Amino acid sequence: MKNKKITYLSALFTIALFTMSSCDNDHDPTNNLCDDTYVSTAITDAFSIANGYDDLPETMDLETHKYQIKINADGEICSVGYQNPSTWTGNYLIDIVNETSNASYSGIHSFSQTQLDYQSISPIAVSSGDIITVMRTIQNSSSLNETVGRILRKSDYTNTPYPINYGTVEFLSSDFYGSGGPVPNFGQPYIPLGFKVN
């Protein structure tokens, strides 16, 4: 009887230990998943039709589309999303800079023309309150119609009234330039980031 009780308690202890260790409560970003929708949900909801914005899939024919955000959470930027317009199958230079810590990512990417396409990047550490600059610059285009990209623009054609808060993301500004411009705060570029929260 004593051996059965010890075996039963050992099995129960093993199950409890396994259950507790398999939960992700250690706040370690290396074993969390990258949440690709972290910034896209904020962009889509904050700049929605209900809030007075139009979603323009192929607008703003300037080479660089740029915006700044503040992420009010500790973690790391782990992916970037974009969709090439129907007029362009080529590459973009994607730059993501943590202006607070000077950590950055720069890489050449080409994205799907049929859907929002997320691609992994070398992680950029973020402390709550850090300001992040996100840019996409077209590479080797030959005409202005190739430079267009998706933006969310005020339906009444006024400038975007930054800052705009949505959850832990605060949108601070935008700019468009290259072969024209700059055109500050014309609309919100649709270049979402994936994020792992610590």
Q: Is the pLDDT of residue 67 over 90?
A: yes
Predicted confidence band of residue 25 (pLDDT cuts 50, 70, 90): very low
Q: What is the pLDDT of residue 3?
A: 54
Q: How large is the C-alpha radius of gyration of the chain?
A: 22
Q: Is the pLDDT of residue 134 over 50?
A: yes
Across residues 173-188, what is the average pLDDT? 97
Across residues 37-51, what is the average pLDDT? 97
Domain boundaries, the chain: 28-197
Right CATH for 28-197 from 2.60.120, 1.10.287, 3.40.50, 2.40.50? 2.60.120
Q: What is the pLDDT of residue 57?
A: 93
Flag whether the pTM goes above 0.75.
yes
Across residues 167-175, what is the average pLDDT? 97
Q: What is the pLDDT of residue 22?
A: 35
Q: What is the pLDDT of residue 141?
A: 93
Q: What is the pLDDT of residue 63?
A: 97
Q: Is the pLDDT of residue 194 over 50?
A: yes
Q: Is the pLDDT of residue 1 over 80?
A: no
Q: Is the pLDDT of residue 2 over 70?
A: no
Q: Is the pLDDT of residue 40 over 70?
A: yes
